[in-house]
Amino acid sequence: MLSTKLSPLKSYSLPLPTELISQILQSPRLSKSDLARCCLVNHEFLLLAQRQMYRAAYICLPKISTPAFPQWLFSPSSHLLFRTLEGNVGLRRHVRKLSMKASNIKTRDVPATLRLTSGSVSGVFRILIEMLPRLDSLKFDAETWQSVRSLVFSRRNQWKTVSISISTIFRQDQTWCDLPNLQELECHGFREKETMDISIPSSLQVLRINKNDPQILKGSPNSQLRILHVVGSPETLSNIGDFPELQHLHIFRGLECQPLLPSSAFSAFSQLSHLRSLSLALWSVGDPILSATLPSLLAHLPRSLDRLDFPERTPIEILSTYFQTSTFRPFRCLGYSRNKYQDETETIAQLVNLAFSKGVGLECL
For residue 320, the surrounding DSSP H or E stretch is helix 316-323
User: Which parts of 238-290 are beta strand (E)?
Assistant: 248-253, 277-281
Q: What per-residue confidence (pLDDT) applies to 11?
A: 45
Q: Per-residue pLDDT for 83 more than 60?
A: yes
Q: What per-residue confidence (pLDDT) applies to 234?
A: 81
Q: Which residues contact 254 (CB under 8 A, 6 or more apart)?
A: 212, 213, 214, 231, 232, 233
Q: What per-residue confidence (pLDDT) applies to 140?
A: 93
Indicate the pLDDT class of residue 192, thresholds 50, 70 and 90: low
On whether the CB atoms of residues 200 and 176 are closer than 8 A, the answer is yes
Q: Per-residue pLDDT for 240 more than 70?
A: yes
| Cα–Cα distance, 238 to 268 (Å, whole number) | 9
Indicate the pLDDT class of residue 247, thresholds 50, 70 and 90: very high
Q: How many CA atoms lie within 13 A of 50 on its CB side?
A: 18
Mean pLDDT of 284-313: 84
Which stretch of 80-89, 102-111, 212-221 has the lowest confidence by average pLDDT? 102-111
On whether the CB atoms of residues 63 and 102 are closer than 8 A, the answer is yes
CA 153, 157, 159 angle in degrees (round to 5)? 75
Q: What per-residue confidence (pLDDT) applies to 224?
A: 94
Return mean pLDDT, the chain: 83
Q: Give the max Cα distance, the chain.
A: 97
Q: What per-residue confidence (pLDDT) applies to 12?
A: 44
Higher-pLDDT residue of 253, 124: 124
Higher-pLDDT residue of 298, 71: 298
Indicate the pLDDT class of residue 163, thresholds 50, 70 and 90: very high
pLDDT in tens, 24-42: 888 889 888 898 898 888 8
Q: What per-residue confidence (pLDDT) applies to 238?
A: 86
β-partners of residue 308 are 278, 334
Which stretch of 102-111, 177-186, 241-250 has the lowest confidence by average pLDDT? 102-111
Indicate the pLDDT class of residue 217, thresholds 50, 70 and 90: confident
What pTM did the predictor assign?
0.84
| Cα–Cα distance, 181 to 183 (Å, whole number) | 6
Q: What per-residue confidence (pLDDT) applies to 316?
A: 84
pLDDT in tens, 85-132: 999 999 999 999 999 998 877 666 666 567 776 668 888 999 999 999
